Amino acid sequence: MEQFNNMDLMDKIISLCKRRGIVFPSSEIYGGFGSSYDFGPLGAELKKNIKDEWWNNMTRLHDSIVGLDAAILMSPKVWEASGHLSAGFADELVECKECHKRFRLSEIKEKKCPDCKGELTESKKFNLMMKTFVGSTEDESAISYMRAETCQGIYINFKNVLDSMRMKLPFGIAQIGKSFRNEITTKNFIFRMREFEQMEMQWFCHPKDADKWFEYWKEERMKWYESLGLDRKKIKLFEVPDGQRAHYAKRQIDVMYEFPFGWQEIEGIHNRGDWDLSRHSKYSGTDLSYTDSDTKEKYIPYIIETSVGVERSLLAFLVEAYKEIEGGRTTTTEAAKEVETILDFHPRLAPIKVAVFPLLKNKPEIVEKAQEIYQMLCKEFLCQYDQTGSIGRRYRRQDEIGTPFCITVDFDSLEKDDVTIRNRNTMEQKRVSIKELINYLKTKI
């Protein structure tokens, strides 16, 4: 299998994503809309699978973590308290005097426009919050903001969750949802966008235990990525030094993945201290401290945060899964001179789990049997039925979208009530009884 280390891989992935219904440019029939993408039928499933894996890992496999779904629109006072309306949540912006394109100051290497080499303006602060209006008027009193991160909805609901669920520290609150940032420059496909999804878990604990829990969650997050197929050699942890950390962070580690365009962050792990609950207590006038029922000690909890970009992790899984094989993996003449593309997804992430093929589409009895099996499996797995073209072509179409198992119904199936299952990775073909099919697949997916 050929491996890639350059931007050629990104072009291949972007092309594959559009061709196979994973990611489409948004508003394409109107010429597109910058930095916006739509997730097609397979992309929506892939995205859902990633979110489900994260959600189940957090709320099912860890005691004392509960879920939340907070509103996107919140009181502007939330963002004032969090510091998002200050200069701290802003990029340094420069503009080219010739082509009038805008860039982050941090992206400028030669003090000239990266595109046309024109002269640049002096830098100025540019707040990343997306402003909107709530109500029938568009004046200062109606200003609101699209949330820039999901975690603030967790902090302002800390007391509600604490009281309603009778939680005791330490405990966590998990949330998946949309966030919006008015990024100056967006690039690298779905890596940096203005509308994106986050998977965030906020772990509330005693201040003296914060360091221990930080190390625990750092290890847990690495286990999660590895369990879903990311190569540990392509993941590294970057300890952000003093002076470069987010203003709220007592400690910050960026989980970096080696994309074709370089090492980039896919998750942040932060010790946020008591910054968030203290600020919201002050600005709201509501006491967000915690009282230990056993020791009667009262304190503001520290927060350990794990914050994952859904689209960024999806792109990492795509890059990791993409493989090419010269000449394909069959001995047929039609495949001999072609390059076969495979998405080597972990079975739990694969959009389509099982494909069902009748060996011959002109044999009604085989087609009928294949459709019966397809309908049976659809109740348990997301399946695809395909009877177009040769079996080899059908296998390759499924390999290209990452389907881990393909089932072929043939003449023996009619006599012996079994089918052939072909494994995407090993190419092993095995006969399995139809009545054992669901149980067999459940052990593999």
Q: Is the pLDDT of residue 109 over 80?
A: no
pLDDT at residue 4, as a whole number: 45
pLDDT band, residue 231 (cuts 50/70/90): very high
Q: Is the pLDDT of residue 372 over 90?
A: yes
Q: How many residues does the chain have?
A: 445
Q: Is the pLDDT of residue 275 over 80?
A: yes
Q: Quote the CA–CA distance of 234 and 258 in Å, as a whole number.
A: 5
- Are 137 and 143 in contact by the 8 Å Cβ rule? The answer is no
H or E element at residue 215: helix 210-227
pLDDT (tens digit, 9 = 90+) per residue, 302-327?
A: 999 999 999 999 999 999 999 998 76
Q: What is the mean pLDDT of residues 398-406?
A: 97
pTM, two decimals, is: 0.90
- Are 400 and 436 in contact by the 8 Å Cβ rule? The answer is no
Q: Quote the CA–CA distance of 395 and 412 in Å, as a whole number.
A: 20
Lowest mean pLDDT segment, chosen from 66-70, 247-251, 335-339: 335-339
pLDDT at residue 349, as a whole number: 98
Q: Quote the CA–CA distance of 342 and 353 in Å, as a whole number.
A: 14
- Are 92 and 127 in contact by the 8 Å Cβ rule? The answer is no
DSSP state of 234: G
- C-alpha separations of 73 from 41, 101, 141, 153, 179 in Å: 28, 30, 15, 10, 10
- Are 148 and 76 in contact by the 8 Å Cβ rule? The answer is no
Name the token pair of 285.
């006038």
Which domains can be identified in the chain, with CATH numbers? Answer: 8-82+145-318 (3.30.930.10), 352-442 (3.40.50.800)
CA dihedral 73, 77, 82, 85 (to 10 degrees): 90
SS3 311: helix
Q: Is the pLDDT of residue 3 over 60?
A: no
- Are 361 and 332 in contact by the 8 Å Cβ rule? The answer is no
Name the token pair of 216.
């625990």
pLDDT band, residue 87 (cuts 50/70/90): low
> Which is more confidently placed, 106 or 114?
114
Q: Quote the CA–CA distance of 259 and 7 in Å, as a whole number.
A: 9
Q: Is the pLDDT of residue 2 over 60?
A: no
